[in-house]
């Protein structure tokens, strides 16, 4: 994610060699494990270092305190999520709107549900962070990717593509977050996912997208 973090959250240095990158991977995975097991309030750099199998000194070389660690972890998560959605949008350029929407929702939903415990832990950890710029950078990437995809659909005629795109993403992101915050069972999650697809398709048809048949329940 190309965004400068607040000065007090900035990592001390970035990994430049494969060994350093492996160390960062171990630190991030250990951070996730501590978050899941003990929560944000009990997370410390010492606990993370112990679980990652690195010294506190090594940890301090990269992250001076837990806030900078959590910021870097959220940055990596959002960057990988953005890359996943961007790839989905690129591969669906020129496809029917219905296929675009199904693929977009599936990509975002799957990214969030592959490790549901991680998603919940990161939602919780972000509360303590000054991450407005990070979220804004992520949102801009999503806006650009989905906007370009929607406009490439055959026979799409949107009067206000920016508003339509913003509404679409707000509905998708908000629905997924609500599912996690309420910790709904998997059966309800799947049912809501199907309803979300129907709702988005109906909205896009009304807003100027091409006409397509109703989605079939799976």
Residue 58: count other Cβ atoms within 10 Å of its Cβ.
Answer: 14
Please report whether residue 216 resides in a domain. Answer: no
Residue 209 and residue 153 in contact, taking contact as beta carbons nearer than 8 Å: yes
Res 78: pLDDT? 92
pLDDT (tens digit per residue) in 175-188? 998 888 888 888 89
Residue 181: count other Cβ atoms within 10 Å of its Cβ.
Answer: 10
Query: Taking the mean position of all CA atoms in its chain, how far away is CA 148?
Result: 19
pLDDT at 139 over 90: yes
If you write DSSP's letter for every residue of 51-63 in order, what string do you get?
Answer: HHT--HHHHHHH-
Question: What is the Cα–Cα distance from 52 to 200, expressed in whole angstroms?
Answer: 42
Please report whether residue 176 resides in a domain. Answer: yes
Res 115: pLDDT? 83
Question: What is the Cα–Cα distance from 79 to 130, expressed in whole angstroms?
Answer: 17
In the chain, the number of structural domains is: 1
Please report whether residue 212 resides in a domain. Answer: no
Better-scored residue on pLDDT, 183 or 110 = 110
Q: Is 163 exposed, middle or buried (0-12, 13-18, 19+ CB in 10 A)?
A: exposed
CATH of the domain at 145: 1.10.357.10
pLDDT at 94 over 50: yes
Please report whether residue 213 resides in a domain. Answer: no
Res 208: pLDDT? 78
Of 10-24, 58-72, 93-107, 178-192, minimum mean pLDDT range? 10-24
Please report whether residue 126 resides in a domain. Answer: yes
Residue 218: count other Cβ atoms within 10 Å of its Cβ.
Answer: 7
Question: What domain range includes position 136?
Answer: 7-207
Q: Which two tokens stand for residue 135?
A: 């979220």
Please report whether residue 214 resides in a domain. Answer: no
Q: In the chain, what's the furthest Cα-to-Cα distance? A: 60
- pTM for this model (two decimals): 0.81
Q: Which two tokens stand for residue 142?
A: 């999503």
Which pLDDT band, with edges at 50, 70 and 90, does 1 fall under?
low
- Across 158-171, average pLDDT: 95
Res 97: pLDDT? 92
Res 214: pLDDT? 45
Q: How many residues does the chain have?
A: 218
pLDDT (tens digit per residue) in 147-164? 999 999 988 889 899 999
Q: Which percentage of the chain shows pLDDT scores above 70?
A: 87
């Amino acid at each position: 994610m190309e965004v400068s973090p607040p000065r007090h959250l900035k990592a001390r240095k970035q990994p430049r060699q494969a060994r350093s990158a492996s160390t960062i991977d171990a630190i991030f995975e250990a951070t996730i494990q501590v978050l899941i097991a003990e929560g944000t309030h009990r997370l410390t750099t010492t606990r993370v270092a112990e679980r990652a199998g690195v010294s506190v000194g090594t940890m301090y070389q990269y992250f001076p305190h837990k806030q900078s660690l959590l910021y870097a972890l959220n940055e990596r998560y959002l960057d990988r999520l953005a890359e996943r959605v961007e790839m989905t949008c690129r591969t669906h350029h020129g496809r029917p709107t219905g296929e675009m929407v199904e693929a977009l929702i599936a990509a975002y939903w799957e990214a969030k549900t592959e490790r549901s415990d991680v998603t919940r832990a990161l939602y919780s950890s972000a509360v303590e962070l000054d991450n407005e710029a990070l979220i804004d950078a992520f949102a801009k990437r999503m806006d650009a990717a989905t906007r370009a995809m929607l406009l490439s659909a055959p026979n799409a005629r949107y009067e206000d593509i920016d508003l339509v795109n913003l509404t679409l993403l707000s509905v998708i992101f908000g629905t997924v977050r609500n599912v996690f915050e309420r910790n709904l069972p998997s059966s309800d999650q799947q049912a809501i996912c199907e309803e979300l697809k129907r709702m988005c398709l109906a909205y896009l048809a009304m807003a100027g997208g091409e006409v397509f048949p109703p989605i079939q329940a799976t």
